[in-house]
Amino acid sequence: MRSRFIKAYTLVEMLVALAVSAIIIGATYASYEMVARQYHKNMDIADMHTSGRAIMRIIERDVRMAGFEYRDNNAIITYGSISNPLTIKDSGNKCCDEVTVVYDYFDEESKKSERIRIRYWAEPHTSNKGSRHRLYKQKDILGRNGSVLANPVLGRKEVMADYIEDLQISDKDNQDRFVKIDSRGSKLISTETFWNCVLDESSGLMWEAKQNNNSIHNHGEHFTWWNTDPSINQGVEGRERHYIRQGNSCKGFNINQPSTFCNTQRFTERVNAEQLCGHSDWRVPTLKELNSIVDKTKSYPAANSTFFKWPTAANQPNTFWTNTGVSNKPDTVWFIGFLTGSPMHAEKSGGFDGVNVRLVRKVSAQKGNLININLTLRTKNQYGKDRQFKKQDYHGGNFKIDKTDKYKRDTFSTTVLVRNLAL
């Protein structure tokens, strides 16, 4: 006979089991939440590191290519010389610097070349994840199908990365690249008050130092452009003219025969006969060479005035000749205006008042054109307790970060040799 009593859990047992289960589930959820939070934190940090390395490689690749000029099968530069291959815009003591590079790109598949301009810059952005900067990239087409375009094809503004806190781009050798040279060719200390030449150890070029005296190196002398080499003068010689500037011209020359010396060819010959700084291979620079001493972060003058002497503001030598002719204009030559650092061109006669000359020569010593790139990123979210982040002094750039919050940050650094500017 079956028992009338059926075994079952009592209410107390059910309550105890429910309580134990709740404790276990709560502990499991807490553990899961902790693991999930740590997982998201690790993924956030990993994304920051992955983005930082990827961004650095992309910018590094383009900066390294700055100034590359494609040549066809006949060794002719398809789109002509690049006057401003690398332009760095310093943001000062804030985020972020900006860089623009110009180079020729050759597509192996289509066998076509284009001249492109790529710009990297950052803009402020605010959301529920806080205030930061976003990094943008824009690629423009300057030349296509063998011709420089009258109107460049402007590309789209693309977001490269988010959560940018610092982007610093600087010339590694900008502070110590120049050396003062005396009349015998010996190096001088940087505080020397008189020097005859300037050695640029970054480019391997030595420059004539203009003087504020009555020598042939006087900063105020203007010249017409003339060169006896038909491969340089494009078969059209500049008309020789004599300029009367405050009652005198061509100081240090024979002023009774002004047309003999008031042009770049005769001036070069005279300087070589003098053996300035112990050398006789001085010449008028190319557009690329003269552009190498332009400092785009400055103006009036756009050059390092500590080494390249600049007298009073009212007496500044502004424009300097190059030996680079303008395509399809055989009577015209490029020059650079050092008030702003912009390349321009003029007739070989020099226009109304002529153009200055700063001679150059190539030397064997060369550091190369090195560019420092430093990038600081932060995570999307805040984690843990407040901590201080300071950008270390060994990272380049003039923006010193010092923040205290719960965000994680890291700085990525690289040094790039701009190969085509170092040649």
Tens of pLDDT, residues 61-71: 999 999 999 98
The HSE-up count of residue 106 (CA atoms within 13 Å, CB side) is 10
Distance CA 96, CA 55 (A): 15
Residue 245: the pLDDT is 38
Nearest in space to 327 (alpha carbons), one of 127, 76, 104: 76
Segment 135-181, tens digit of pLDDT: 999 999 999 998 999 999 999 999 999 999 999 988 755 556 788 99
pLDDT of 314 above 90: no
Residue 317: the pLDDT is 59
- Mean pLDDT within 267-294: 92
As a whole-number percent, the residues of the chain with pLDDT over 90 amount to 34
Nearest in space to 418 (alpha carbons), one of 125, 64, 168: 64
Distance CA 399, CA 303 (A): 22
Query: Model confidence at 408, in pLDDT bands (50, 70, 90)?
Result: very high
Distance CA 376, CA 371 (A): 17
Residue 247: the pLDDT is 35
Residue 76: the pLDDT is 85
Q: Which of 29-33, 164-168, 211-215, 346-350 is predicted with the least confidence, judged by mean pLDDT?
A: 29-33
Residue 348, both tokens: 């070989």
Q: Give one DSSP letter per residue of 331-399, joined into a string.
A: EEEEEEETTTTEEEEEETT-TTT-BB---EEE-S-----EEEEEEEEEEEEEEEEEEEEE--TTS-SS-
Domain-by-domain residue ranges, the chain?
A: 52-172+372-422, 178-362
At a CB cut-off of 8 Å and minimum separation 6, what does 112 contact? Answer: 106, 145
Stronger pLDDT, 62 or 202, i.e. the higher one = 62
Stronger pLDDT, 317 or 288, i.e. the higher one = 288
Residue 359, both tokens: 């001679």
Q: What secondary structure letter does DSSP report for 71?
A: B
Q: Peptide bond preceding 301: is omega within 30 degrees of 0, i.e. cis?
A: yes
Stronger pLDDT, 155 or 88, i.e. the higher one = 155
The pTM assigned to this predicted structure is 0.56
Nearest in space to 263 (alpha carbons), one of 321, 219, 209: 321
